[in-house]
Amino acid sequence: MISRPQTDEYSAYASRYVDLVGNESILEILKREKDTTYNLFKEIGPDKAMYSYAEGKWTIKQVLGHMIDTERVHSYRALAFSHESIELPGFDQDVYMANATFNLRTLEDIANEYKTVRESTLYLFGSMSEEQSMRKGIASGSPVSVRAFAYMIAGHEMYHIKILKERYL
């Protein structure tokens, strides 16, 4: 069981995501998101997949790709911190996106990748002990607990799905 992190277990910036997450089991939230997010992107037609609501903003494909990249980075950090207290660098989402190929792929393919990554995330957090989930390391210059990453992943997805529904769909 992964309990909710205390506010001193993540940065002030990350609170914008953690605060979006309710109080039910984080694993249940992540499972539910897997299905609802996958289905949402599967319903978007190929003609809409390259839509961007303004010049310089990401396409729908890139939004989903960004969610995948972020989940992978946070999952790696959680894995690393569950085994040792180390410092890991931040990642620049704009650099990642500039070097990504999401717009060259089908949205269906990216959605399938999302589902696979989320299943891996669920196995990762589902296999941890409570003690492992409370371990900490330094990411992007701030102390973060392993369990905070689970909440950051869920909240980050909620944040982007809200933007997607408001500005893209």
Give the chain's domains with CATH numbers.
7-168 (1.20.120.450)
72-109 pLDDT, tens digit per residue, is 999 999 999 999 999 999 999 999 999 999 999 999 99
d(CA 155, CA 66): 14
Phi-psi region of 84 (alpha: psi -120 to 50; beta: other; left: phi over 0): beta
Q: What is the CA 95 to chain-centroid distance, rounded?
A: 17
- Rounded to whole angstroms, how far apart are CA atoms 77 and 93? 16
Contact yes or no for 88/137 (Cβ under 8 A):
yes
What's the pLDDT score for residue 87?
98
pLDDT of residue 60: 99
- Rounded CA-CA distance 139/90 in Å is 6
Rounded mean pLDDT for each run of 10 residues along the chain, 169 residues in total: 96 98 97 98 97 97 99 99 97 96 98 99 98 98 98 99 98
Structure tokens at 153: 């992943």
